[in-house]
Structure 1
Amino acid sequence: MFYHGRMRWDALSLDGQEPGLFGRPVTVDTPEFRGITFHEIRAKSIINKVPGASRVPFTWTINPYRGCSHACIYCLYGETPILMADGRTKPIRDLRVGDAIYGTEVKGSSRRYVVTEVLAHWKTVKPAYRIRLKDGTELIASGDHRFLSDLGWRYVTGTDQRPHLKLDSRLVGTGGFAAPPKNEADYRFGYLCGLLRGGVNLGSCASSPGHEALRRARFFLEDLGVPAERLIAWPDITTDEWRKGFLAGIFDAEGSCSGGVLRIPHRDPDTSHAITSSLERLGFDHTVERPHRRSLGVVRLPGGLAEHLRFFHLTDPAITRKRDIEGVALKSSAELGVASVEAIGIDVPMYDITTGTGDFIANGVVSHNCFARGTHRYLDFDTGQDFDSQIVVKVNAPELVRRELAAPRWAGEHIAMGTNVDCYQRAEGRYRLMPGIIEALRDHANPFSILTKGSLILRDLPLLEEAAERTEVGAAVSVGFVDKELWRLIEPGTPSPLKRLEVCATLVEHGIGCGVLMGPILPYLTDTPRQLDAAVRRIAEAGASSVSAIALHLRPGAREWFMRWLRECRPELVAPYERLYGRGAYVPKDYQRRISAKVAELAEKYGIGGRRNPRRLSAPSPPPAAPGPVAEQLPLL
């Protein structure tokens, strides 16, 4: 399949001056960075615009490093159910290369379901957005993920320069998938009863090992160990799980789905009543018909493909050929208009795939896949651990910054760095890209700021001072608390809070304004008046220009990790956290307001924001001329 659109990797190329040497990216392994491989690439652009829907106070960023080897951010939350070729669903995190799933193709005037293959699968961590549709469907994706709407492909977030989801944008598909049955004893009893009532001879299980329904029945019989007389008897009490199993069994025995019609024949009034009452209990509309053979009635499910898929997923019949939807047109009356798109406010583990059709079905809607596979193969990366261990280094970042700042169209807007990947990560100790970037910003008197957790920024303090003489320069560090023991438990592997505040103090002493993001504040752990006072006092002593309080967010991924830590280290707090957060990700608004007000009160008490050490900006001299064009190889994709 060919793709003619613009890829994120189109912005990366190799130096074409020496094809014998730079025919491939330069790959470097060094003893001091054990377990990490650097891939040195010449980029085509470096100043990137932030999506308009992002809740950040800046528009432009520079990222000289990428921790993600394929440079793709089209990702979905790991629990997102994907429609498999057998009609079932599987979380995207559990997919594997070679899995058969459903994609779509346009055939004639209709887009239709077709079976395709997973060609690549990977994991990364990205800022998350929640998309809610009017029918109740929810999806969690990165801002650059794309879904198919009735007006074409749309990004989750964006600006006027690219098509993105808006309120009432209508997605294409059937709507959210139903959860599968629990496959417990009640379900198994119900399934076997359905098979028997449908006329299946369970004695043939052993002689027909290849038959999916009989194979399942044999397993259930061995597991339950009860006689057939008990299985065919109607239970005194029918649970929802029994009803799901019964419908799956009777469908495997007698049912069919073809020509857009799902039918379940029945042989007697008791069976008919069991079918219809189970459908009603599970929320399915149905009609009962009596064809020309008076001894056989038929229950039909209206509602089209959306209801048929809900039936398959909720009941899980064993015979996959009866669940086949290949070639069926994507037509649905589901209310798939966008009700809301909101930033969740936290980075979460996300996953994406490459498929043979270029798309797949994510929780009932058509989702664009990522085309990073070609570049991934080109770089000889695998699709798993490379995302943590393969670092792409834009070795020409400083010269690109200088060139783009000199372009007539550049308006001198503020540029934020460290917002995606820490520009002072360990790789910067080897490649030293930031000095050249800061020099270019200094020479063009372009305002900028840097967010970091480390101390390597102090290496470039002289350059920052020079830049601050000519333009606005700012920095920020994150410090949620100052308790050393808690830091060792919660944030192992990061610089200590006091070390980060030392960085803040040093920057301030040299006239570089530095704010502090006071987060995460941990309820019942770091939110007592004494702890808040201690943290804000230390922040004030460091000379921070501002402080902003952020309470702990417990979105999927972070929630599981943190609650597991609580159970192991502070079990007495598990119940209070469950009461405080409930099923949500955020603390109640009154808690956040209370904490923010207390921190603001302490900030005023200790004079944060009241002391200024402004530099007098000198008039900038003309910047050095931008270097001439560099010969570049064609883009990798």
Structure 2
Amino acid sequence: MSADGFRWKTVDDGEPALFGVDELLAPDRSTGRMSDLEFLHVTAKRILNHVPSGSRAPTNWTINVYRGCSHACAYCLAGDTPILMADGRARALSEVRRGDRIYGTAGDDGDRRLVPAEVLDHWATSKPAFAVVLFDGTRLVASADHRFLTTDGWREVRELAVHGADLVQTRREPSARLHKIAVRSVDDLGVEMPMYDITTTTGDFIADGVVSHNCFARPTHEYLGMNLGEDFDRRIVVKINAVERLRAELADPRWTGEAVAMGTNTDPYQRAEGKYRLTRGVVEALGEHGTPFSILTKSPLVTRDLDLLTDAAARAPVSVNFSIGTLDERVWRATEPGTPNPRRRIAAMAALADAGIRTGALVAPVLPGLSDGPDQLREVVRAIRDAGGSLLGISPLYLRPGVREHFLDWLAGFDAELHADYLRRYAHGAYAPEHYLDLLYERAGVPRRRGGVAARLAPQ
């Protein structure tokens, strides 16, 4: 394919290019178990990427050696937030696209009203996740620096956790008046999750009925002129000079050795890593320079690099985390047959912990009636504890639009009685009722800490 279709050189805001047209090498169409993937080789101009100004992410630097991701995940803990479209319908944030017409707001705080707006950009990243729960049961998952409109102006989620607030809300209808609703709790989920956001002509949008501010976007596949659907899953951009470039940047006298996050955009241990081994080279380089780093992954392939992770952890803080919804073999095979066996993830966690690497897991997604039994939950918690990991939190299934229809269709054929229960349980939105989350922690036998970090399990 031609490089002319890609936005390689520049972006609208004038940021320097990551790589140029002349640096796009011939595509590599893989064979064997990767025959469904196409790898686009590029030589990157930089590997250590500074978080954009205006962001208050906990780390200032990220590394992503791949753009796009071959994981086929069935659930998403972010991106399912309903956005009020200009036709009065709701659409999941992850499915909104540039050029879509939505509703934003206009006017001052005393006379703010809903007005049509256009989506100028749509993007994805990964950040530490917080659950913001309102008194009417609305539950939003957002990053700490995401801003919502309150009766006292724009406030970040981190501020809501400390001071509380009344958010400005509409009844999810274009003709509805804005009103206030109090925040009941803010929970740190203790894990990084995929996050989506948009830029609009009004500077805001309606997220599950709440007025939400734009955040700063870092481009992914759309930035390069590819789509975020099939292209994101199948066409993987590979920065083949990542290790060489990183070593040069780490050797620069101006580099101060700040913490680096890996997996902030795509999984560093996705299938492409088995072919290119770039993440291994990055881990080795970071370790040699004593640079602290964290990894977010769903793949047990990370244990391949235990030798390098151990060496790196001896010089600086290193952490690796996973997500595990259940250890029930029947439930896993029925609901997530394309994902790595959860016991392999537990084994990977144990290997990391035995090697002295900080590690843990989020118990998610928990499926009502399928994987939420006390014995099932306690088995996962016990496995995490026995593996030497930390419990990062418990999260039930989110039935976002698209996933909702697909999952419920499958469930109807799997168990008609359970299907009827889900229709009642999820009748008012994508989230299970808030009291159900309390029940999950109770069944798991661990405390739920509101407004702070999730419960931790010390290995015994």
Q: In 2 relative to 1, CA 484–43 (structure 1 residues): closer, same or farther, beyond 3 Å? A: farther
Q: In structure 2, how many angstroms separate the alpha carbons of the residues matched to 1:417 and 1:532?
A: 29
**2:276 counterpart letter in structure 1:** Y
Cα deviation for residue 486 of structure 1 reads: 1.0
Post-superposition Cα deviations, 1:507-529, rounded to whole Å, max 9, x if no partner, equal 34444343233333334333334
- The correspondence for 2:19, drawn from 13, 16, 26, is 13
Matches within 5 A, 1:463-542: 463-541=308-386
Kept after mapping to 2: 8 A contact 1:448/1:473: yes
Q: In 2 relative to 1, CA 388–599 (structure 1 residues): closer, same or farther, beyond 3 Å? A: same
- Secondary structure of the residue that 1:477 maps to in structure 2? strand
Q: In structure 1, how many angstroms separate the alpha carbons of the residues matched to 2:320 and 2:212?
A: 41
Post-superposition Cα deviations, 1:133-188, rounded to whole Å, max 9, x if no partner, equal 9xxx9999899999999xxxx998799xxxxxx979999xxx77736xxxxxxxxx
Q: In structure 2, how many angstroms separate the alpha carbons of the residues matched to 1:537 and 1:132?
A: 28
What corresponds to 2:48 in structure 1? 46
Q: In structure 2, how many angstroms separate the alpha carbons of the residues matched to 1:49 and 1:409?
A: 17
- Secondary structure of the residue that 2:445 maps to in structure 1? helix
Unaligned runs of 5+ in 2: 1-9, 71-77, 106-113, 449-455
**1:462 counterpart letter in structure 2:** D
Kept after mapping to 1: 8 A contact 2:362/2:391: yes
Quick check: 443-452 or 514-523, which moved more?
514-523
The structure richer in helix per residue is: 1
- The correspondence for 1:556, drawn from 385, 396, 400, is 400
Q: In structure 1, how many angstroms separate the alpha carbons of the residues matched to 2:287 and 2:26?
A: 30
Matches within 5 A, 1:49-60: 49=51, 60=61
What corresponds to 2:67 in structure 1? 66
Q: In 2 relative to 1, CA 523–176 (structure 1 residues): closer, same or farther, beyond 3 Å? A: closer
What corresponds to 1:632 in structure 2? none
- The correspondence for 1:82, drawn from 80, 85, 93, is 85
Matches within 5 A, 1:273-422: 310=175, 381=226, 385-406=230-251, 411-422=256-267
Kept after mapping to 2: 8 A contact 1:82/1:362: no
Q: In 2 relative to 1, CA 474–595 (structure 1 residues): closer, same or farther, beyond 3 Å? A: same
1:178 correspondence with 2:173: yes
**1:394 counterpart letter in structure 2:** K
Matches within 5 A, 1:233-272: none
Kept after mapping to 2: 8 A contact 1:77/1:348: no
Q: In 2 relative to 1, CA 177–30 (structure 1 residues): closer, same or farther, beyond 3 Å? A: same
- The correspondence for 1:427, drawn from 248, 272, 292, is 272
- Secondary structure of the residue that 2:85 maps to in structure 1? strand
- Secondary structure of the residue that 2:337 maps to in structure 1? coil
> What is the percentage of aligned positions where both structures have the same residue?
35
**1:44 counterpart letter in structure 2:** R
What corresponds to 1:544 in structure 2? 388
What corresponds to 1:267 in structure 2? none
Kept after mapping to 1: 8 A contact 2:262/2:268: yes
- The correspondence for 1:456, drawn from 294, 301, 325, is 301
What corresponds to 1:211 in structure 2? none
State the TM-score, normalized to the length of structure 2.
0.64
Matches within 5 A, 1:95-174: none
Post-superposition Cα deviations, 1:577-626, rounded to whole Å, max 9, x if no partner, equal 566666362441531441353499xxxxxx96346xxxxxxxxxxxxxxx
Bigger radius of gyration: 1
- Secondary structure of the residue that 1:13 maps to in structure 2? coil
Cα deviation for residue 496 of structure 1 reads: 0.6
- Secondary structure of the residue that 1:471 maps to in structure 2? coil
Between the two proteins, the alignment pairs up a number of residues equal to 410
Q: In 2 relative to 1, CA 114–567 (structure 1 residues): closer, same or farther, beyond 3 Å? A: closer
Q: In structure 2, how many angstroms separate the alpha carbons of the residues matched to 1:574 and 1:520?
A: 17
1:595 correspondence with 2:443: yes
Q: In structure 1, how many angstroms separate the alpha carbons of the residues matched to 2:384 and 2:96?
A: 46
Q: In 2 relative to 1, CA 369–6 (structure 1 residues): closer, same or farther, beyond 3 Å? A: farther
The structure richer in strand per residue is: 2
Kept after mapping to 2: 8 A contact 1:82/1:89: yes
Q: In structure 2, how many angstroms separate the alpha carbons of the residues matched to 1:416 and 1:130?
A: 22
Q: In structure 2, how many angstroms separate the alpha carbons of the residues matched to 1:372 and 1:549?
A: 27
Q: In 2 relative to 1, CA 338–115 (structure 1 residues): closer, same or farther, beyond 3 Å? A: closer
Q: In 2 relative to 1, CA 445–169 (structure 1 residues): closer, same or farther, beyond 3 Å? A: same
Q: In 2 relative to 1, CA 147–5 (structure 1 residues): closer, same or farther, beyond 3 Å? A: farther
- The correspondence for 2:290, drawn from 436, 445, 450, is 445
Post-superposition Cα deviations, 1:487-521, rounded to whole Å, max 9, x if no partner, equal 11111111111222222233344443432333333
Kept after mapping to 1: 8 A contact 2:394/2:441: no
- Secondary structure of the residue that 1:12 maps to in structure 2? coil
Q: In structure 2, how many angstroms separate the alpha carbons of the residues matched to 1:494 and 1:67?
A: 17
